């Protein structure tokens, strides 16, 4: 089975203010690195626009209406201090959701072995009723619910290795034992959540990392907390919130990972998907703001996915 890649030019048209770290050049850097001959076997698919009704799997209707109403006809508007929208932002976020849901279809219907979705804006900070942290809607949460509703997945695991805690995903699934949420992240750091003591209905597993730590501490967190939790949960699907801002080059944090760490973590989750999930694994781009660190890390991640 092949590795499938979803992306779309519309993701470049979600415009942020000059100097904003979550910028279109992130996708351009990924496109360039994946144009290398080493990735010629990638099954490249133009991302489809999603069904607005699926947003309601994770967010209430009045919140969806507020976000839609905030999209400007011209220029850039601030949703909060960090989060903005431009005229094509609605189409971009709907296409990100469409790609994530299509990826879920692909792995359940055996059209792909695994899938990487290179989309923006990211999603894991979007809480049930709050857009924040560069995120409008929580793409990973919507995809998890989509898997449950369309494919009768009983248990979905979301593993988030973005350097910032996915407060939004934790908020949405706080009291839902059918979804396991595991996160490695720097602490203290934005958004200020993610302590080990935050366990929800026993389905939230946080593994905070101290600033200026690196590979050894990250891998230990995976081996001691994340992977045993996945084994105990035995998910039908694994979704990765794949942020690459824990890379040592990233300007927004102080965790000193290398692309080899993302390669290793990808392999560990592929192994668990093989054990428990019929190899079903979907990876969704979250953060990563140094263009070189992002490109090298994505190359390592996708290269590992392609090894099956």
**Mean pLDDT in residue range 233-262:** 98
Instruction: Decide: helix, strand or coil at residue 212.
Output: coil
pLDDT, tens digit, 9 for 90 and up, residues 38-97: 999 999 999 999 999 999 999 999 999 999 999 999 999 999 999 999 999 999 999 999
Q: What is the CATH number of the domain that holds 238?
A: 3.40.800.20
Instruction: Decide: helix, strand or coil at residue 285.
Output: strand
Decide if pLDDT at 1 tops 90: no
Catalytic residue among 8, 59, 124, 125: 125
**Mean pLDDT in residue range 276-300:** 98
* Residue 14 to residue 87: CA distance in whole angstroms: 8
Angle CA(118)–CA(119)–CA(122) in degrees, nearest 5? 120
Rounded to 10 degrees, the C-alpha dihedral 215/216/220/222 comes to 10
Please confirm, yes or no, whether 125 is among the known catalytic residues.
yes
* Residue 118 to residue 142: CA distance in whole angstroms: 16
pLDDT, tens digit, 9 for 90 and up, residues 14-38: 999 999 999 999 999 999 999 999 9
**Mean pLDDT in residue range 96-108:** 98
Residue 122 phi/psi, 5° resolution? Answer: -70, 180
- Is the preceding omega at residue 60 within 30 degrees of 0, hence cis? no
* Residue 64 to residue 142: CA distance in whole angstroms: 13
Angle CA(195)–CA(197)–CA(202) in degrees, nearest 5? 115
Average pLDDT, whole number, for the chain? 98
The percent of residues above 70 in pLDDT, for the chain, comes to 100
pLDDT, tens digit, 9 for 90 and up, residues 224-233: 999 999 999 9
pLDDT, tens digit, 9 for 90 and up, residues 143-194: 999 999 999 999 999 999 999 999 999 999 999 999 999 999 999 999 999 9
Decide if pLDDT at 127 tops 80: yes
State how many domains the chain has. Answer: 1
pLDDT band, very low/low/confident/very high, at 308 (cuts 50, 70, 90)? confident
CA distances from 38 to 28, 30, 33, 242 (A): 18, 14, 10, 21
Q: Note down the domain range covering 291.
A: 3-306
Per DSSP, the residues of 182-196 read EEEEESS-TT----T
DSSP state of 127: B
DSSP state of 44: E
């Amino acid at each position: 089975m092949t590795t499938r890649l979803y992306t779309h030019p519309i993701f470049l048209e979600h415009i942020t203010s000059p100097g904003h770290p979550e910028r279109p050049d992130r996708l351009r850097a990924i496109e360039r690195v994946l144009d290398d001959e080493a990735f010629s076997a990638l099954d490249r698919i133009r991302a489809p626009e999603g069904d607005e009704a699926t947003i309601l799997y994770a967010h209430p209707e009045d919140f969806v209406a507020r976000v839609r109403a905030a999209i400007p006809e011209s220029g850039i508007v601030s949703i909060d201090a960090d989060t903005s929208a431009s005229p094509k932002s609605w189409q971009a976020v709907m296409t990100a959701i469409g790609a994530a849901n299509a990826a879920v279809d692909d792995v359940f219907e055996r059209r792909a072995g695994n899938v990487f979705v290179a989309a923006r804006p990211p999603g894991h900070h979007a809480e049930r009723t709050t857009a924040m942290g560069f995120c409008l809607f929580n793409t990973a949460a919507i995809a998890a619910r989509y898997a449950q509703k369309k494919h009768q997945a009983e248990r979905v695991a979301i593993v988030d290795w973005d350097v910032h805690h996915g407060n939004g995903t934790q908020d949405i699934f706080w009291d839902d034992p059918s979804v396991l949420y595991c996160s490695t992240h720097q602490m203290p750091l934005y958004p200020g959540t993610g302590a080990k003591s935050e366990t929800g209905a026993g389905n939230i597993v946080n593994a905070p990392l101290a600033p200026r730590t690196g590979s050894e501490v990250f891998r230990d967190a995976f081996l001691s907390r994340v992977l045993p939790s996945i084994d105990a949960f035995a998910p039908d699907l694994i979704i990765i919130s794949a942020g690459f801002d824990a890379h040592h080059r990233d300007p927004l944090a102080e965790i000193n990972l290398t692309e080899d760490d993302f390669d290793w973590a990808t392999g560990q989750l592929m192994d668990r998907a093989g054990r428990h999930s019929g190899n079903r694994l979907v990876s969704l781009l979250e953060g990563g703001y140094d263009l070189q660190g992002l490109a090298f890390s994505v190359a390592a991640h996708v290269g590992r996915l392609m090894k099956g």
